Chains A and B, each alone.
Chain A
Amino acid sequence: MPALGGIALHFDPEHPHLPEAPLGVAETLVRDCLGAVPSRAGRGRMLEVPVCYEPEFALDIIEIAEQSGIEPEDIARRHAANEHYVLMVGFSPGQPYLGGLDPKLAVPRRPNPRTRVPAGSVAIANAQTAVYPYEIAGGWSVIGRTPLALFDPARDPPSFFAPGDRVRFVAISRAEYARLK
């Protein structure tokens, strides 16, 4: 399980065919794999993701405006202006973590995570953007919502995003959101 802050190897410590020192073997394997991975920077697919930044979807935009001193409209404009890129997929099925956020928009994670972030929420924390495919608990600040279905177990591949994808967020109106939903 690759993530930004580490790689997890989930294994059964009582598996009968486990090597003597499983962690040492795993570390060697992971290092070899990492060494063989070519850089995908700037070479991924280009995806356009429609986002409605209207206030009813931008649950935390006022708070971010207060924290950053940037007007709400300007937050949306800045967010849609940059090219973002998918760093990893994790947390919930098909949920991308994207780099490329305008540094002026960097805010910490919320001190008290929400028990329900609405499905499709586009949220930011620190230097990143996440898009929540499903309604789920989460601690990032919500600035908009996309009508796209980001994960479908019947689709191949099931996840809309993959690591390395380049992403542009395209601001859409309420009417377009309703039409695409």
Chain B
Amino acid sequence: MSLRILRPGLLTTIQDRGRRGLQHLGVVPAGAMDPVALALANALVGNRDGEAALEATLIGPEIVFEEDVLVALCGAQFDARVEGTALPLDRPIFLKAGRALALRRAIRGVRAYLAVAGGIAVPPVLGSRSTYLPARFGGLEGRALRKDDVLPLDPNVAGLSSMRYEKLSGRGVVRAGLGTVRWSAPALTLPDREPILVHVIEGRHYTEFDADSKRRFLDAVWQISPDSNRMGYRLAGAALARPQGGEILSEPTCLGTVQVPANGAPIVLMADHQTTGGYPKIAEVAGADVPRLAQLGPGGTLRFARCSLETALELRRALNARLASALRAIAWEHGQ
């Protein structure tokens, strides 16, 4: 009923859909940086959407399961192996007890989600199992995973896993000792060729920036700085100026808010974003483009394209429709 971490990887944390309804206490939402990949991984192992999974970053963990398990790896393309055999991505995989699963290096994208049938059974904190690193709560002791950590799984993980795999395996195959299927889920959030295009709507202070800055914001190729993290992506590429604007009162911020401190270098707020902030907001990233942006790591490049609120909503509806249709197809394979 547990899994053990043999090697932790660069930054592996437990994440679910995050904490909602507590921002008035300053409690940041946290949760998966790429919730679309998390939803696909959960669906592939027959879980409901909200279960907690492992979020691996750039260099993944090596894990051994105590019992037979049904797992799925979605999001970034990782070089993942089970004792030397390449692990097929975006599929349900039935692993026999005691076999070690190694996520080596991310080849495309930077964050992958490893879901296990029944979810990772750490206790929820304030309504979520998501790890929030700065405040050290959620997940396992509020921290990134370490060597020899043991994570609790569903008490009936072996039973759940074989039951779900049997339903699938009518159409399944065994490949090099791994139980899997002939189909795979679509990767909906892998970044395209860089610089990727990120849609933004005007932020509350957009008009206060000078004309040159507004042009530079939309023309520049921005590079994600090494001091970026789950809280925010700091961007390098041009300096933006807001000559008239003075200091502003702290305002609510949002996933995807693009702030510009006085040094002129924008910061895009990500999953662990602060709930409020007083730096001017030049733009807000369209919700549909946040998961794809989350698949870029330090050194990754992007351009911003301005769009209307209606277009941003349309992009969101389109992504959600693609996700919903993938989830329906997966649920059908599970006989749900």
Spell out A's residues near B (CB within 8 Å): 1-8, 10, 13-14, 88-95, 97, 108-113, 115, 125-126, 133-137, 139, 151, 153, 157-159
Contact with A along B22-34 (1 / 0, CB 8 A): 0111111000000
Task: Give bound CA distance, A2 to B24, whole Å.
Answer: 6
Task: Give bound CA distance, A125 to B317, whole Å.
Answer: 40
Contact residue among B25, B247, B275 (Cβ-Cβ distance under 8 Å from A109): B247
Does B277 have its Cβ within 8 Å of any Cβ on chain A?
Answer: yes
Q: Which chain A residue has the least Cβ–Cβ distance from B278?
A: A109
Q: Which chain B residue has the least Cβ–Cβ distance from A163?
A: B24
Task: Give bound CA distance, A10 to B276, whole Å.
Answer: 13
Given A5-B252, A134-B135, A139-B278, 9 further pairs, Cβ under 8 A: A5-B248, A10-B23, A14-B320, A89-B25, A90-B276, A92-B274, A111-B261, A134-B134, A157-B25
Contact in complex: A93, B313 (CB < 8 Å) = no
Q: Which chain B residue has the least Cβ–Cβ distance from A95?
A: B26
Q: Which residues of B contact A4 (CB under 8 A)?
A: 249-251, 276
Contact in complex: A126, B137 (CB < 8 Å) = no
Contact residue among A90, A126, A137 (Cβ-Cβ distance under 8 Å from B231): A137
Q: Which residues of A contact B320 (CB under 8 A)?
A: 14
Q: Which residues of B contact A125 (CB under 8 A)?
A: 247, 278
Q: Which residues of A contact B26 (CB under 8 A)?
A: 89-95, 133, 151, 159
Contact residue among A7, A97, A126, A136 (Cβ-Cβ distance under 8 Å from B252): A7
Task: Give bound CA distance, A5 to B134, whole Å.
Answer: 25
Contact in complex: A90, B23 (CB < 8 Å) = yes
Segment 200-219 of B: residues with Cβ below 8 Å from A: none
Contact residue among B134, B137, B276 (Cβ-Cβ distance under 8 Å from A136): B134
Spell out B's residues near A (CB within 8 Å): 23-28, 125-126, 132, 134-137, 227, 231-232, 247-252, 254, 261-263, 274-279, 313, 316-317, 320
Q: Which residues of B contact A112 (CB under 8 A)?
A: 261-263
A131 to chain B, nearest CB (A): 11
Contact in complex: B252, A108 (CB < 8 Å) = no
Task: Give bound CA distance, A130 to B113, whole Å.
Answer: 36
Contact in complex: A93, B28 (CB < 8 Å) = yes
Q: Which residues of B contact A158 (CB under 8 A)?
A: 25, 27, 126
A23 to chain B, nearest CB (A): 10
Contact in complex: A109, B24 (CB < 8 Å) = no
Contact in complex: A151, B249 (CB < 8 Å) = no
Contact in complex: A91, B316 (CB < 8 Å) = no
Contact in complex: A89, B24 (CB < 8 Å) = yes
Task: Give bound CA distance, A37 to B249, whole Å.
Answer: 21
A38 to chain B, nearest CB (A): 18
Task: Give bound CA distance, A133 to B254, whole Å.
Answer: 20
Task: Give bound CA distance, A32 to B276, whole Å.
Answer: 23
Contact residue among B24, B247, B249 (Cβ-Cβ distance under 8 Å from A1): B24
Contact residue among B25, B126, B249, B261 (Cβ-Cβ distance under 8 Å from A139): B261
Task: Give bound CA distance, A135 to B135, whole Å.
Answer: 8
7 cross-chain pairs, A with B, having the tightest CB-CB distances, nearest first = A8-B252, A5-B249, A90-B276, A111-B262, A5-B251, A4-B249, A1-B23
Contact in complex: B135, A93 (CB < 8 Å) = yes
Contact in complex: B250, A92 (CB < 8 Å) = no
Q: Which residues of B contact A115 (CB under 8 A)?
A: 227
Q: Which chain B residue has the least Cβ–Cβ distance from A13?
A: B313
A75 to chain B, nearest CB (A): 19
Contact in complex: B135, A151 (CB < 8 Å) = yes
Contact in complex: A97, B250 (CB < 8 Å) = yes
Q: Which chain A residue has the least Cβ–Cβ distance from B24?
A: A1
B314 to chain A, nearest CB (A): 11
B234 to chain A, nearest CB (A): 9
A126 to chain B, nearest CB (A): 5
Contact in complex: B125, A153 (CB < 8 Å) = yes
Could you list some 25 contacts between A and B, CB below 8 A? Answer: A1-B24, A3-B250, A4-B276, A8-B251, A13-B313, A13-B316, A14-B317, A14-B320, A89-B26, A90-B250, A90-B274, A90-B276, A91-B26, A91-B275, A92-B135, A93-B28, A97-B250, A108-B262, A109-B262, A111-B261, A111-B262, A136-B134, A158-B25, A158-B27, A158-B126
